[in-house]
Chains A and B, each alone.
Chain A
Amino acid sequence: MLRYEDWTDPVPAAEREVVSLTEDARTDRPPLLFVPGLGHGAWAFAETWLPRAAARGFAAHALTPRPDGDLRAQVHDVVQVAASLPRQAVLVGQGAGALVVAYAMGRYPVRAAVLAAPVMDGWPTLGAALRANPFGTLPALFGGRLRLNRRQLFGPEMPAEDAQRFLERIVARPRRELVTHDPAPRPVGDPPVLVVGSPDDRVVPRTSLDRTATRYGSAPLLFPGMGHELMLDVTWADPIEAIVDWLEKELES
């Protein structure tokens, strides 16, 4: 309630890249805002989940995080874009983007939210990264770039050259707060929240996924065989169809 930091030192405005698909949107449906994770931009949704959600009648938007923004700035940007939409928005965050969404839910009453492969617990995630990819992870602990590898992010079906193409676009420089942050605040307005993930995700351990789902009062919806990159992996269509199904049901009730 007492937000001294926001009153005395508000986050400065920054240019925000938002990719939008709104032509087929039905007026009775809330807009969707996709929030990408570490090192990703709106591009990560632009060819897969964004058009699929749009095809099912939702106005779909994806935001690119501001360069070098800390968690506070990223949350600020998500809430700014959500509040700029004509109707109460549904937030969909993937990876560390889910953490941003979880924080944003404490600031803005979302219509609903989806946390996909959510990187919510810092230490277990770091542990998993060190196990799966020690040499790519270690430099990042000292301020360097995080080098992710194919096995870490994608399922075994993913063709090598597609994976390579995506890996080249991911420029991840994690901040310490990704590990040390406080637990996310309680969502305002008591919205429905869906947690989706994969038991074969090598970034988010299964226990962490379950913990996040329990926190939001449900069990995770699982897509076995997929990697962490639910919106880019070969079977990317399955999770988004399931998300939209869930959303349609929630909107009816």
Chain B
Amino acid sequence: MPDTPDIADRHDAVCVIGAGASGLAAIKNLREAGFEVDCYERETSVGGAWNWRHDRSPVYAGTHLITSRPLTEFPDFPMPDTWPDYPDHKMVLSYLERYSAHFGLESDVWFGTEVVSVAPTGDGRWNVTTQSTGGGSSRVQRYAGVVVANGHNWSAARPEIPGDFRGQVIHSAQYKDPAQLRNRKVLVIGGGNTGCDIAVEAAQQATMVWHSTRRGYWYAPKYVFGRPADQVNARRIPLRLRQWLYRKAVGFTAGDLTRYGVPAPDHQPYESHPTVNSQLPYYLGHGRITAVPDVTEFDGGSVVLADGRRIEPDLVITATGYRPRFEFLAPELLDTAEDGRPDLHLHAFARKHPTLAVVGLVQADFGLFPLAHWQSVAVARWLRLRVTDPERATAVQQKESTRPVASWSKRRVVPTERHWFEVDHGDYLRAVEGLLREMETAA
């Protein structure tokens, strides 16, 4: 493509899309590797999902971390050790704001600017088109690399339930405040962390609460043996032993929930993304939450369940999760399948485009920030190696980018969409460490 005068060439600079936790880590680690960075953020402040002022933020007033502090903080910028084990969303936001201020990251962020297109130029570089969020004219700039950190918890996945419903149906993304539940008859669909949190808040606010899940889960307690449960389990021991520990933790605390009509899990612990909630069993036991099976149909004022029962809620909240979305990228760039699932090496590196990477597109039995940190360190070194030793970089890239997912992510998971990017934190970090080591011997 010939140079057109309206494309501003940013030479060796790298473009980062999004200034949530993943984007901030990317800016910092790219800078440490010696890159100039331009980050575009459609909102007017940092924090991404954790900034409840953002219109796409999925957090609700009662959100607290489900992963405890030491497993959630960035590995090179700890949260204050005086903070609670499970800080709330405002604290997490203030942590991200402090991270950003501490490393002076905002000077590289263009706020209120949305990336609308990222197109390859054919020589490994990228034309990035941005537009101010309020509309206005667009601008094209050329970068040596693009790091996508746009988050995957903002585009709501809504179940298709046949029939018409007379009451109100909202997705959990629209749930913000317990007042929305007060004195209503509420059906919550989904056994992920959001669904269980909302079911518990409904138990405290609503007149009647049904909780519908299409399978049983290993609802983990937040504490066992007087310690945050994830800290007890984050050991260097085989998965089988960790599964045994997990079962024991559940056994010692809530016990077998089938006595409340909850289905038995159809999988082992860690084979579905962990749902951590100590209060759900409590409210089931107090009769404040009624467990029901999957919803099959809406019928006027009632909701039909898989066992043929009918219930009559006036508010249905579908806490059925989110899907990744990359509208600014042609699907083939990320090897995205028909169903929307990208195929990336280590869930981060585009297989055919060594200067394109995604950070934060993973989910684990662990905090996301440390994973996003190490991903962005690996991405930064990967891009750096292309500059310092292009031959070696190509060799590493060829070897790495053909590795199938199964070679580094051995965990079996329940085959639903929300588990596309589920990894075991230990296996995953070891895989990233392996890549870093390989690049190092190359240097």
Contact = CB atoms under 8 A, between A and B. Distances in A.
A76 B81 contact: yes
B429 A4 contact: no
B101 interface: yes
A79 interface: yes
B75 interface: yes
Interface in A1-46: 1-4, 6-13
Select the residue from B70, B230, B432 with max chain A CB neighbours within 10 A.
B70
Interface stretch (B126-134, B231-239, B276-284, B335-343): B231-239
Contacts of B104: 87-88
Contacts of A8: 231-232, 234-235
Nearest to A189: B32
Interface in B53-90: 69-71, 75-78, 80-82
A65 to B, nearest CB: 15
Interface in B223-273: 230-232, 234-236
B32 A85 contact: no
Given A4-B236, A8-B234, A84 B76 contact: no
Interface in A82-111: 83-88, 107-109
B102 A88 contact: yes
Interface string A200-231: 00000000000000000000000000000000
Contacts of B234: 4, 7-8
Given A7-B234, A87-B104, A2 B77 contact: no
Given A2-B429, A10-B70, A10-B231, A190 B32 contact: yes
B235 A85 contact: no
Nearest to A77: B81
A188 interface: yes
Contacts of A7: 70-71, 230-231, 234
A107 B74 CA distance: 10
A204 B410 CA distance: 50
Contact of B429 (A1, A10, A107): A1
A1 to B, nearest CB: 5
Nearest to B79: A83
B328 interface: no
A107 B429 CA distance: 17
Contacts of A10: 69-70, 81, 231
A109 B76 contact: yes
Contacts of B235: 4, 8
A124 B71 CA distance: 38
A80 interface: yes
A13 B81 contact: yes
B158 interface: no
A83 B82 CA distance: 13
B391 interface: no
A contact patch SS? loop
A88 B78 contact: no
B101 A86 contact: yes
A109 to B, nearest CB: 6
Contacts of B32: 109, 188-190
B297 to A, nearest CB: 45
Given A83-B102, A86-B101, A86-B102, A1 B81 contact: no
A205 to B, nearest CB: 32
A87 B81 contact: no
Interface in B85-117: 101-104
B77 A1 contact: no
A2 B101 contact: no
Given A87-B104, A189-B32, A11 B76 contact: no
Contacts of A80: 78, 80-81
Contacts of B70: 6-7, 10
A99 B71 CA distance: 26
B438 interface: no
A147 to B, nearest CB: 34
B433 interface: yes
Given A8-B231, A10-B81, A2 B236 contact: yes
A3 to B, nearest CB: 7
A13 B76 CA distance: 17
B426 interface: yes
A1 B432 contact: yes
Nearest to A89: B102
B219 interface: no
Select the residue from B101, B102, B235, B236 with max chain A CB neighbours within 10 A.
B102
A2 to B, nearest CB: 6
A83 B69 CA distance: 15
A85 B76 CA distance: 14
B2 to A, nearest CB: 38
B143 interface: no
Nearest to B71: A7
A108 B78 CA distance: 9
B119 to A, nearest CB: 33
Nearest to A4: B236
Contacts of B75: 1, 3, 107
Nearest to B426: A2
B40 interface: no
Nearest to A109: B76
Given A107-B76, A189-B76, 19 more contacts: A2-B236, A2-B426, A4-B236, A7-B234, A8-B232, A9-B231, A10-B70, A11-B81, A12-B81, A13-B81, A79-B78, A83-B102, A86-B102, A87-B102, A87-B104, A88-B104, A109-B32, A188-B32, A188-B76
Interface of A: 1-4, 6-13, 76, 79-80, 83-88, 107-109, 188-190
Q: Which 9 residue pairs spanning A and B have beta carbons closest together?
A: A7-B234, A13-B81, A10-B70, A189-B32, A1-B433, A1-B429, A4-B236, A13-B82, A83-B77
